[in-house]
Every structure is written in structure tokens, then in C-alpha cells.
């Protein structure tokens, strides 16, 4: 009921009467009063006026279960939400839920991670109360070789959501880092559980640097936050809902043709490597060239010095700018 009351208060610009809340939820005025007080204790600025009712004046930047569930408006992305104040890794939690039969679109959110991981096992700094750490569980109805494109779909969704909610330009460093002004604000880690030619589930973990006011040590050379770039704090729950909304839409586009052809223009438009000299760090041998965007499979097209176009598959290959991270 607390989540429902919060949702109704958010949807009403003015006051909503206690009587109406009682009618909506089939409870007593005392039960409504208790629920409203619980929301106040969580930091919500709720004004109560006699003969008018209740009005939401201010919203704290929290990622509580009530806050998240009251914002979800999607068909399936976030239809079930598991929230933890602290956990080891949302990817690990989501994989466990996947083994237990959790539905497609289930989302795990944490205010803090103490064992977050990035690509190739790198650690991901996850302080409390500042950023967004979440994982979405998917049960795709296609073959495992098509799952790799979902990482790029998520990167595009994050970039679109940041632009829409924060009004800031966000780029993508192929394949899946979201960047601002040449520095990383978001990392994405996709893991898959496969049986022969059947996907049991896919989990996509996302960490977004939102309200961090400083970057420690060496990481400040390659990473930043939305706050550091904009000077303004962002409501994390609002941004998370927008990411999920964009991902649900983009997933549907991807699922229709099982490639990125209908998102090429949008993805390449965000690609910060586009048209730039890059260095491809391939275990088989490094080489340099000009990035010409991605193809429908999500591979990066690199034009080498001899005029040939090489398709670069993410896997164990990294791409760097000639003089730095981007």
C-alpha cells in the first residue's frame, strides 16, 4: 500500500484526499496515516492539510523498493524488482534468481555493492547513496550467438536515458562504455547461462556514476560522474526508470530482426570513436586504423592504413584512442 500511495501522490499535481486513498486501497484512515508517516520517515516531503488531503512536495534521492516500484511504467522491464541496501554483486543476485525461475525483466538494484565487477574481472567502485547499480534478468527466445548484441543495446539505452533526463550529451565508446567529455560514466557487464543451443537466461549488469562528487586517484583520468560534468545532482530512481524504458523499447527493436540494423544510425550517432584513429588491442596482434562505425552484428568496422576494412569483434579485443582512453 505504501508504494501505491507514493505512486498516486506522484501522479497528482495537487492534493489527494485521505478519503480517496482509503477508497483506493480499501483501508482505514489510520492505515493511510501510518503509511504516509512511514514515507515521511524515509525523507519524502508530504504535506497534509485538513479538508484537502495529502500532497507530495519533495522527493528524496533514494533507491528504496517503494520509490522504484512507484515509478515503473514499463510492460516487462522492472515488472519485478529486488532492492538491497548493500549486496556483493547485483549480477550474482540476478543469476541466483534466474536459477530460481525469476521472470524475464526482473531487476536487481543495490544502493551499494561490495564485490562489483567490470569487464575482464576488473573491480567496480560502488559507494552507497551516490550511483546506480542494477542488473536486469532476461530470458531471450533466440539462439546464444545473438545475445552479444544486447550489451550494445543496453549501452545505447543508457546514453539515451542520460540525455533525456540530464540534458547532457552522452557518447558510447565501443562496445559498451558510456562516456561524457571523453571519460567513462557507465560500465556494463553481460553474462549468460547456456545449455547447448538454448539460453537459460542472460543478466546485464550496469553501473552508472551519477552523484559522485570526486573520483579517487588514477581513476579520475578516465572516469567521471554526471554530477562532476553537470554540476547538478540527478534523481537516481528517475534515471533508472528511463534506462529501463529505453531498454525495453530497444530490446523490442532488436528482437524483431535479431541484429542492430534498425539502430545503426542511433548507435553510430553516439559512437565517440566514429571517424577517429584508434588502436585495436588484439591478442593476435595490435593494429591501427580509422573507426567507421558498427555493422548490424555490432562489430566495429576499422579501416586500416592499406585501405582494408577489418571487422573487430568485442570478445577479448579492446579499442583505445591513439592518445588515451577515448
266 touches 94 (CB < 8 A): no
- 234-245 burial, b at 16+ Cβ within 10 Å, e below that, comes to bbbbbbbbbbbb
Q: Which residues does residue 53 pair with via DSSP β-bridges, in sequence order?
A: 49
Supply the pLDDT for residue 125: 53
Q: Is the pLDDT of residue 24 over 80?
A: yes
Q: Which residues contact 28 (CB under 8 A, 6 or more apart)?
A: 22
CATH placement of domain 277-321: 2.30.30.100
Closest CA to 156 of 300, 267, 39: 267
The DSSP-derived string for 191-206 is EEEEETTEEEEEEEEE
Supply the pLDDT for residue 208: 96
Supply the pLDDT for residue 19: 92
Helix locations, the chain, DSSP H: 2-11, 18-25, 29-41, 65-71, 90-99, 149-166, 226-230, 236-257, 264-270
Q: Give ranges for CATH 3.30.930.10 in the chain.
A: 65-270
Supply the pLDDT for residue 126: 64
Structurally, at CATH architecture level, domain 2-58 sits in Orthogonal Bundle (1.10)
The CA-based dihedral angle spanning residues 119, 124, 129, 131, taken in that order and rounded to the nearest 10 degrees = -40
Q: Give ranges for CATH 2.30.30.100 in the chain.
A: 277-321
Q: Is the pLDDT of residue 272 over 70?
A: yes
- In the chain, what percentage of residues exceed pLDDT 90? 77
Q: Is the pLDDT of residue 155 over 80?
A: yes
The DSSP-derived string for 175-240 is TTEEEETTEEEEEEEEEEEEETTEEEEEEEEEEE--S-S---GGGGGTB--HHHHHSS---HHHHH
Q: What is the mean pLDDT of residues 160-169?
A: 96
The grid coordinates listed for 211 are 552523484
- Total residue count of the chain as it appears in this document: 326
138-152: pLDDT as tens digits: 999 999 999 999 999
Q: Give ranges for CATH 1.10.10.10 in the chain.
A: 2-58
- The answer regarding whether domain 65-270 maps to CATH 1.10.10.10 reads no
Q: What is the mean pLDDT of residues 298-313?
A: 94
Q: Which residues contact 34 (CB under 8 A, 6 or more apart)?
A: none
Question: How far is the C-alpha of 165 from the C-alpha of 188, rounded, in Å?
Answer: 19
The grid coordinates listed for 194 are 547456456
Q: Please give the residue that has the higher pLDDT: either 258 or 123.
A: 258
Question: How far is the C-alpha of 1 from the C-alpha of 244, rounded, in Å?
Answer: 23
Amino acid at each position: 500500500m505504501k508504494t501505491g500511495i507514493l505512486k498516486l501522490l506522484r501522479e497528482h499535481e495537487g492534493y489527494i484526499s485521505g478519503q480517496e486513498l482509503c477508497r483506493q486501497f480499501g483501508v482505514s484512515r489510520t492505515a493511510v496515516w501510518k503509511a504516509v508517516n512511514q514515507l515521511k520517515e524515509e525523507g519524502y516531503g508530504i504535506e497534509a492539510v485538513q479538508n484537502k488531503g495529502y500532497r507530495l512536495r519533495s522527493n528524496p534521492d533514494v533507491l528504496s523498493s517503494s520509490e522504484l516500484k512507484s515509478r515503473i511504467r514499463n510492460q516487462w522491464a522492472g515488472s519485478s524488482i529486488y532492492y538491497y541496501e548493500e549486496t556483493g554483486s547485483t549480477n550474482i543476485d540476478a543469476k541466483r534468481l534466474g536459477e530460481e525461475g525469476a521472470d524475464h525483466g526482473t531487476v536487481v538494484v543495490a544502493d551499494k555493492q561490495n564485490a562489483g565487477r567490470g569487464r575482464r574481472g576488473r573491480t567496480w567502485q560502488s559507494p552507497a547513496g551516490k550511483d546506480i547499480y542494477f542488473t536486469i534478468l532476461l530470458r531471450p527466445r533466440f539462439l546464444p550467438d545473438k545475445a552479444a548484441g544486447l550489451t550494445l543495446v543496453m549501452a545505447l539505452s543508457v546514453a539515451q536515458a542520460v540525455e533525456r533526463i540530464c540534458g547532457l550529451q552522452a557518447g558510447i565508446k565501443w562496445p559498451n562504455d558510456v562516456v561524457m567529455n571523453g571519460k567513462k560514466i557507465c560500465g556494463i557487464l553481460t553474462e549468460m547461462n547456456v545449455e547447448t543451443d538454448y539460453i537459460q537466461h542472460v543478466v546485464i549488469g550496469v553501473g552508472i556514476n551519477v552523484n559522485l562528487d570526486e573520483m579517487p586517484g588514477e581513476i579520475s583520468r578516465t572516469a567521471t560522474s554526471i554530477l562532476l560534468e553537470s554540476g547538478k545532482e540527478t534523481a537516481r530512481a528517475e534515471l533508472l526508470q528511463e534506462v529501463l524504458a529505453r531498454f525495453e523499447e530497444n530490446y523490442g527493436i532488436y528482437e524483431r530482426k535479431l541484429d542492430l540494423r534498425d539502430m545503426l544510425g542511433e548507435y553510430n550517432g553516439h559512437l565517440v570513436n566514429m571517424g577517429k584513429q584508434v588502436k585495436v588491442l588484439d591478442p593476435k596482434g595490435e593494429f591501427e586504423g580509422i573507426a567507421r562505425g558498427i555493422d548490424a552484428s555490432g562489430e566495429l568496422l576499422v579501416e586500416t592504413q592499406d585501405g582494408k576494412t577489418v571487422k573487430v569483434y568485442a570478445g577479448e579485443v579492446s579499442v583505445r584512442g591513439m592518445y588515451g582512453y577515448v
